[in-house]
Amino acid sequence: MNIHGHICVVNTINIQPLIKNMHKNHLHTTLSNKHFELLKKYTEKFGTRQKVLETALESLENSAKQGHILSQEDKLWLAAKDMRSTCLIQKDVLKSLMQTADFKKIAEVMTNQKPTEYLIINHFQKPLTKCNLKEVIDGLIIVVKAQNVADTINYTDDGSHYTLRLIHSLNFNTSKIFKMFIENMFETYGVKTESEISDNIVFMKIYKNL
């Protein structure tokens, strides 16, 4: 140690090995035969088991940083794709179809097939009756966002009821269809709703069974 005035300069040349050893951590674990064979294989490539483990961990870290975390809507979309129950359609085409929609037929399909309930059940992996009301509403939000028909959908907790607000850019028939399938779902679940709709908005109160 050399002291010049108030500055203390430490010669660190002789303590580097000590510092290096202080940063090493001992690891003891067991591996299956399969993974032990992999460890032996890559030890031949990298030289030491330590280098193999460090390389593998760094690879996992880089993959995690680069990997895309799917949103709940993306997961639902992929699940629907796998079930072959979803098809792509441009919004302008959908808007034209909505103008001449057969509401009686659509209501019949919604009542018999209950597609929204099915997607919510698939998302939560439990029966609708086992979901609490907030889970059902959260599931509905995910389903509607995944469909990419509505521009925005959200809700607030207003004490005795939840208030759902859905905005889209199609037409009044679309509002009627949204109202129909959402009310149908909550009727199946067993709660009361009150709705108001306009050309581009669905406003719904969903009452809690307090």
Provide the residue count of the chain: 210
Decide: 191 and 209 in contact? Cβ < 8 Å.
yes
Predicted local confidence at residue 148, as pLDDT: 83
Per-residue confidence band for 83, with pLDDT thresholds at 50, 70 and 90? low
Please tell me whether residue 193 adopts helix, strand or coil conformation.
strand
Predicted local confidence at residue 202, as pLDDT: 96
Per-residue confidence band for 9, with pLDDT thresholds at 50, 70 and 90? very low
Cβ partners under 8 Å of residue 116, min gap 6: 110, 140, 143, 181, 182, 184, 185
| Dihedral-angle region of residue 125 (phi above 0 means left; psi in -120 to 50 means alpha; beta otherwise) | left
- The H or E element that residue 165 is part of is strand 161-168
- Calpha distance 178→12 (Å, rounded): 72
- The H or E element that residue 101 is part of is none
- Calpha distance 22→81 (Å, rounded): 53
Predicted local confidence at residue 105, as pLDDT: 85
Per-residue confidence band for 201, with pLDDT thresholds at 50, 70 and 90? very high
| Dihedral-angle region of residue 106 (phi above 0 means left; psi in -120 to 50 means alpha; beta otherwise) | alpha
Q: Is the pLDDT of residue 168 over 90?
A: yes
Decide: 191 and 208 in contact? Cβ < 8 Å.
yes
Predicted local confidence at residue 104, as pLDDT: 81
Reported pTM:
0.61
Predicted local confidence at residue 76, as pLDDT: 67
| 84 phi and psi angles, rounded to 5 deg | 55, 35
